[in-house]
Amino acid sequence: MNTVLREFQLPSGGCIQIVQGDLTEENVDAIVNAANAYLQHGGGVAGAIVRRGGSEIQAESNAWVQQHGPVTHNQPAYTGAGQLPCRTVIHAVGPVWGEGDEDQKLAKAVSSALALAEHLEIKSIALPAISTGIFGFPKERAARVILSAIQEYLLGDTVSHILVVRMTLFDKPTIDAFLTAWKEMGLREME
């Protein structure tokens, strides 16, 4: 069972949450997959999504790449969710640590995933800690970049219809990194 650890209420009525749990169990409109450019979902979050959601997610991903080409930080892909409790999987490509301009690329991957969610009329979305697994992005740094990108997107000039953004995190080191960034950013917990 997934547990909300922190919640920040936005002036718009929406909220940002840090959740401890399994992304593949999130009962939201969409989840974000931490994908590679060719949408080959072998390990990490991507592998877990396909194992739980079914092979149709990989089949749709293959068709997407065949039709549109590799996925970039600026242009995420989306597929159905198979047997997952959500209805859509947004496939966002974060940077590999050491390739250069990592902070900007990670922020763009997050904001582009939220913009696609907006386009798809998604009201609730759950994200993992993109790029912090095999891509090697330091968890503490990624937490600050990701939370800042979410906050900037939701508080930006355009009106967002996304009501709930959940950072769904599985392991203790990642959860601790996001809780520390949350506190450093001055996000207050709802009581």
Please report the pLDDT score of residue 191 as a whole number.
35
Cα-based distances in Å from 11 to 96, 151, 156: 34, 11, 12
Nearest to 125 by CA among 116, 136, 137: 116
Provide the whole-model pTM.
Answer: 0.95
DSSP H stretches of helix in the chain: 44-53, 55-68, 102-119, 139-154, 172-184
10 Å CB burial of residue 129 (0-12, 13-18, 19+) is buried
Show Cβ contacts of residue 142 under 8 Å, excluding neighbours closer than 6 positions.
106, 129, 130, 131, 132, 177
Tens-digit pLDDT string for the chain (191 aa): 899 999 998 887 889 999 999 999 999 999 999 999 999 999 899 999 999 999 999 999 999 999 999 999 999 999 999 999 999 999 999 999 999 999 999 999 999 999 999 999 999 999 999 999 999 999 999 999 999 999 999 988 677 889 999 999 999 999 999 999 999 988 765 43
- Interatomic CA distance for residues 136 and 119, integer angstroms: 30
Domains annotated on the chain, with CATH: 3-184 (3.40.220.10)
Please report the pLDDT score of residue 57 as a whole number.
98
Contact assessment for residue 41 and residue 89, using Cβ atoms and an 8 Å cutoff: no
